[in-house]
Amino acid sequence: MEDHLNCIYRVISFIEKNYDQPVSVKELEDISHYSYRNIQRIFKYSCGETIGAFQQRLKVENAYKRILYTHESLTSIAIEVGFANIASFSKAFKQHFGISPKAAKLSKEKLLCEEMIIPVTSDILLEPEIIYLKPLQVYYQSVKTYYNNEEIEVLWEKFMKNEFPEPGTEYYGVIADEPLIRTEINCRYDACASEPSALKKLPSKTILGGRYARFIHTGSYQTIDETYTKIYSRWILNSDLEFSHTPIIEKYERHAAHEDGEKEQLTYILVPLR
């Protein structure tokens, strides 16, 4: 089972890096160490969709993010995410989201998914710090969730049993799917550590790299939706900055000490910029 899981992680990571390029049978077999027929079967069983459907979904979802967060033309977006022409892009986009790319571009606010987990209302405008972060290799485990705090907590309890080196290890959460545009309930969240496990070999990948708008959330993770509400309802749609389609990343600081000696959790929310 663990071999199958690591195989799926490798394939997902590869497709995410190369979603806009044709992926050959040989590449999939080399990465997964399975025959093409077997890796397709394992992937469909584990992820609920075929590899081809997964890659197509990444194309249109990354296009959706570019429409929402950049000023690029629809033709440029179509080519950048791997479609041969605007016609094939428009057809795939409308099949997936039920709206044409042109209509989406004309009314960005309507792109916000009706089933998103956060309400788009807030009177508070947050001001982030703009920072540059170097690429970082991390070791990770994933869970499919609807940004459910209990499921994420269970993942972290399991993840931390891997016994990472202390001190020195940094911990991150990668929100692999954009919560504003996700069309399915099950999304993917990755628990990540900057150092390898002392107990078993975990899959690894590179995160960060580039400019980020860094927001600060203080308090428990149970209330982090409130901070996301302020970011999405006021800052993202009104900012003059352009945003990258790469995932939002959370960096978890252990505690932030108060003057009275009490401690509370501190989380950095890192929104990628172009």
CATH of the domain at 65: 1.10.10.60
Phi and psi at residue 264, to the nearest 5°: -145, 160
Of the candidate ranges 17-26, 105-114, 152-161, 262-271, the one whose mean pLDDT is the lowest:
105-114
pLDDT confidence tier of residue 114, bands split at 50, 70 and 90: very low
Q: Is the pLDDT of residue 258 over 90?
A: no
- Boundary (domain end) residue, out of 89, 105, 121: 105
DSSP-assigned letter for residue 246: S
Residue 237 lies in a domain: yes
Choice between 257 and 196, residue whose per-residue pLDDT is larger: 196
Give yes or no: residues 167 and 247 share one domain.
yes
* Residue 24 pLDDT greater than 50, yes or no: yes
**What is the predicted pLDDT for the residue at 50?**
92
Task: Specify the pLDDT at position 122.
Answer: 44
pLDDT of residue 116: 41
DSSP state string for 79-130 = HHTT-SSHHHHHHHHHHHHSS-HHHHHH-GGGGS-TT-SS-S--S----PEE
Average pLDDT over residues 253-260: 54
Statement to judge: residues 242 and 204 lie in one domain? yes
pLDDT surpasses 50 at 125: yes
Burial of 13 (0-12, 13-18, 19+ CB in 10 A): middle
DSSP 8-state symbol, 231: I
* 122 or 109: which leads in pLDDT: 109
Query: Is there a contact between 266 and 255 (Cβ–Cβ < 8 Å)?
Result: yes
Domain boundary among 90, 105, 120: 105
Pair (245, 143) in one structural domain: yes
What CATH number is attached to the domain comprising 248? Answer: 3.20.80.10
Residue 223 pLDDT > 80: yes
Mean pLDDT across 89-94: 94
Number of domains, the chain: 2
Domain residue limits at 231: 129-272
| H/E segment holding residue 36 | helix 36-47
What local confidence, expressed as pLDDT, does residue 28 receive?
A: 92
Q: Per-residue pLDDT for 98 more than 90?
A: no
Contacts by 112-118, CB closer than 8 A, 24 or more apart: 112/180, 112/181, 112/232, 113/179, 113/180, 113/181, 113/182, 113/183, 115/185, 116/179, 116/180, 116/182, 117/146, 117/147, 117/179, 117/225, 118/179, 118/225, 118/228, 118/229, 118/232, 118/233
The answer to whether 28 and 39 have CB atoms below 8 angstroms apart is yes
The whole-number average pLDDT for the span 222-226 is 81
For residue 17, pLDDT over 80 is answered with yes
- Whether 258 is covered by a domain: the verdict is yes
Task: Give a yes or no: residue 88 inside a domain.
Answer: yes
